[in-house]
Amino acid sequence: MKKSLTPQQRRILNVIKDLTLELGKPPTLEEIRKASRLNYISSVQRHVEALKEKEYLDHIPNQSRSLSPSLSNNQKVNIPLVGNIAAGTPILAIENIEAYIPYEPSKYKFKAEDYFFLRAAGDSMNQSSIEGKTIDDGDFILVKKQNAAESGQIIVALLGEDATVKKLTQGSDCYILKPQSSNPNNKPIYVFDDLVIQGIVIDVIKKGVMKDE
């Protein structure tokens, strides 16, 4: 079992993880210093040495950009489950967060802060495919926060005070939010005004899996 980390050591480790994902390569000590807002490289070096000693970081000698989180320390990250989304309220405002769901960090490519979960409701997307999984009532969908999307992507859009999950299609003079459903009562939604996109759906955790865990 690895030794426990101090709060500052854990913060530096998270900075290194985030920078590695953001840059697509291990960060330099100077990049870590700037991101963690430390004044001195020596402070970064001290924390990095502690992380290596506690086996939270791997290091290849005599190579630049040689720091990487230990593969044996592939801890899950808590992603917030957002209960409600409303116009004018930040998605991850405290009053919107219902719970946290552990998620494997190797599965995403950006900062954990850029993601949130929603609980799917209804059967309007029960014939969709995200990573080979459908979106059924009660499933948890992982959403990457962004305000733009490409036609064909499954998005979370805000319509008034309600969030909806649909497949985006760009029409000639409007946006079309299409259900992917076995239920013929689910109909497309045509949006002629500006479309407020909250993010794109990138993964699904089936409700049965959550119960098993």
Q: Domains of the chain: which residue ranges?
A: 7-73, 77-212
pLDDT tens across 18-74, in order? 887 777 678 889 999 999 999 999 999 999 999 988 888 877 665 667 777 775 555
Which entry of 17, 124, 144, 181 is annotated as an active-site residue? 124
CATH 1.10.10.10 fits 7-73, yes or no: yes
Give the residues across from 189 on adjacent strands. Answer: 177
- Give the closest residue to 165 by CA, choosing from 207, 197, 133: 197
The residue type found at 166 is K
Residues 6+ positions from 190 with CB-CB distance below 8 Å:
171, 174, 175, 176, 177
pLDDT tens across 157-167, in order? 988 878 899 99
- Topology of domain 77-212, CATH: Umud Fragment, subunit A (2.10.109)
3-state secondary structure of 49: helix
Length of the chain: 213
43 is catalytic: no
Distance CA 197, CA 155 (A): 7
Contact present, 177 and 168 (Cβ < 8 Å): yes
Which entry of 17, 128, 144, 166 is annotated as an active-site residue? 166
172 is catalytic: no
pLDDT tens across 167-202, in order? 999 988 999 999 999 999 999 999 998 899 999 999
Q: pTM for the whole thing?
A: 0.63
